[in-house]
């Protein structure tokens, strides 16, 4: 996600978040009931059907699965009933493998290309508010959200890149988000499920009271050629499930390098090589040779 921020004079860092902390739902291979395959924080909006869909992303099996809550014996079925906190055993006639699909971590840093004015203006004009919280304050507290992994450019239909402007700046690839929500979105701690009525799902403790809200229709009007794409929201939701629910969860990187020894900090962290490559790519994007 590219972002535009007011400059700071010193480096600002976020305390790393443990994605597995606070989980009140755990799931297990029934043949190994002591070792959790993963889990999630149920903030209230996840239904039994949602849980089965998420397990469909996380698990690879050759046979259908049966999911049973360990203490109550309740069998989970595809319904809209609220998923209860608990320990869930998964039964299958074949081996259960956890999906090892790589998750796409997102490096949050200053956009330095200076070429995103039209994008920002267009997104602000379309949305006019944070489309997750509903807060209307477009100048001071709202930033943009976009998907950076640009193998997805094939989905963009409202522009081409023959004029030298990357499809990454398509209005279909952006939403307005309040600063704090933007950071959660970049870290996959909050997402939107376009296949469940555009429901907002919070994968961390829901201190902001956003879990279960609905993405504002202003950014997804089917009659607007520049509406945010369901394909990109679906991709982000899948990444959020992989990042938060698989095993102990993926690491959350410190996010704001506005000063200090950015390279020194990154080089000492997990995924250092990949983060440095993404930082270079971010800073070169949009620059002509």
Residues 113-170: tens digit of each pLDDT: 444 677 788 888 899 999 999 988 655 344 444 444 434 565 666 566 555 555 667 7
Poorest-pLDDT segment among 45-49, 79-83, 179-183:
179-183
H-run or E-run covering 29: strand 25-29
pTM: 0.79
DSSP string, 56-89: HHHEE-SS-EEEEETTT-PBP-SSSSBPPSEEEE
Q: Which pLDDT tens digit goes with each residue over 29-69?
A: 999 999 999 999 999 999 999 999 999 999 999 999 999 99
What's the CA gap between 27 and 50, in Å, rounded?
Answer: 14
pLDDT, residue 66, reads: 97
Type and span of the H or E element at 48: helix 48-58
H or E element that contains 270: none
Per-residue pLDDT at 84 exceeds 90: yes
The number of CA neighbours under 13 Å toward the Cβ of 185 is 33
107 exposure class (CB count in 10 Å sphere: 0-12, 13-18, 19+): buried
Q: What is the token pair recorded at 81?
A: 């009933």
66 has which bridge partners? Answer: 91
The percent of residues above 70 in pLDDT, for the chain, comes to: 66
- Identify the pLDDT of residue 155: 60
Spell out the alpha helix ranges (H) of the chain: 48-58, 117-127, 179-186, 230-245, 262-267, 272-284
């Amino acid at each position: 996600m590219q972002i535009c921020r007011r400059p700071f004079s010193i480096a600002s860092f976020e305390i790393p978040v443990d994605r597995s902390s606070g989980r009140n739902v755990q799931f297990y291979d029934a043949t190994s009931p002591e070792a959790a395959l993963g889990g999630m924080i149920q903030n209230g909006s996840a239904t039994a059907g949602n849980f089965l869909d998420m397990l469909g992303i996380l698990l690879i099996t050759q046979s259908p699965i049966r999911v049973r809550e360990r203490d109550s014996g309740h069998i989970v079925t595809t319904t809209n009933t609220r998923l209860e906190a608990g320990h869930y055993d998964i039964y299958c006639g074949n081996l259960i493998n956890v999906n090892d699909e790589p998750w796409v971590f997102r490096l949050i840093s200053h956009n330095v290309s200076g070429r995103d004015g039209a994008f920002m203006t267009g997104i602000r004009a379309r949305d006019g508010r944070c489309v997750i919280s509903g807060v209307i304050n477009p100048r001071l507290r709202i930033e943009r959200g976009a998907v950076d992994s640009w193998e997805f450019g094939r989905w963009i239909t409202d522009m081409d890149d023959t004029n030298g402007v990357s499809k990454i700046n398509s209005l279909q690839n952006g939403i307005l988000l309040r600063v704090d929500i933007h950071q959660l979105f970049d870290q996959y701690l909050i997402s939107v499920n376009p296949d469940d009525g555009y429901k907002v799902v919070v994968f961390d403790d829901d201190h902001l009271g956003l879990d279960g809200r609905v993405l504002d229709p202003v950014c997804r009007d089917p009659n607007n050629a520049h509406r945010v794409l369901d394909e990109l929201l679906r991709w982000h939701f899948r990444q959020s499930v992989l990042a938060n629910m698989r095993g102990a969860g993926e690491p959350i990187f410190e996010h704001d390098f506005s000063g200090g020894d950015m390279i020194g900090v990154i080089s000492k962290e997990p995924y250092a090589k990949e983060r440095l490559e993404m930082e270079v790519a971010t800073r070169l994007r949009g620059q002509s040779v």
